[in-house]
Amino acid sequence: MSKKIINSDIFKLMEEWAPKHLAYDWDNIGLQVGSYSRQVNKVMVTLDVVGDVVDEAIEKGVDLIIAHHPLLFKPLKQINTDTHQGRMVRKLITHNISVYAAHTNLDSAEGGVNDLLAEPLNLQSTDVLVDNVQEGLFKIAVFVPLAHTEDVINALNNVGAGHIGDYSHCTFQTKGHGTFKPLEGTDPYIGTQDKIEKVEEVKIETIVPRSILSKVINEMIQAHPYEEVVYDIFLL
């Protein structure tokens, strides 16, 4: 049986191409109308969400509209169905059609709108004119038994953590001793229940871009031998 595709699956792909942090702070991107968990069988792509687009989506049984320009640019104070926008929102909700927008983040993304416009013009030596976007960074610190240090470092770096400029696998490591006492119901990798253990461990510190933080944490936990992984996250 094939896996059912839902809106969040499509959104994830869009945000891998055009990460949200690339958008200007005044922009309203992402889900505009609908649900993250709505199943998707048919997708429509458009520049603007206008009345004719909504009517065509209804006629063709579209589940998700991906638009460049946001349908909801300013906060709604009311949904007045006597207005053009209000009628569109009502139609979208009535027919279970979701709307997602990728605007200035898609303009700025590598392989995005600006690159696609430059290509047919045969522009050479294209570069960013004004770098107004800087992705937030976090430091992650995780405590690992000595024998598993390399496994965890590789897991972190394989998904994009620890990259500084043209260098990868950038970490700082501090040796020390961790203590813990497994309680009833635990299944400890090291030690036995109701006995305090003292283990030689390494504290691994590295940096992580905001856009991949969740992925890095998941991979780190998968590579870590402990039942309960101890780690800290610091906003830089």
pLDDT in tens, 28-85: 999 999 999 999 999 999 999 999 999 999 999 999 999 999 999 887 788 899 999 9
158: left (phi over 0), alpha (psi -120 to 50) or beta: alpha
User: Mean pLDDT over residues 178-191, rounded?
Assistant: 92
Name the 3-class secondary structure at 172: strand
Q: What's the confidence (pLDDT) of residue 22?
A: 86
* Model confidence at 202: pLDDT above 60: yes
222 phi/psi in degrees, rounded to 5: -65, -35
Alpha-carbon separation of residue 189 from 184, 186, 197 (angstroms): 14, 10, 11
The domains found in the chain, sorted by start residue, are 7-117 (3.40.1390.30), 137-235 (3.30.70.120)
Q: What's the confidence (pLDDT) of residue 105?
A: 92
- pLDDT by residue (tens digit) across 118-129? 989 998 888 777
* Model confidence at 1: pLDDT above 70: no
Give the distance, in angstroms, between the CA of residue 196 and the centroid of all CA atoms in the same chain.
Answer: 39
Residue scoring higher pLDDT (129 or 145): 145
Provide the residue count of the chain: 236
Average pLDDT over the chain reads 92
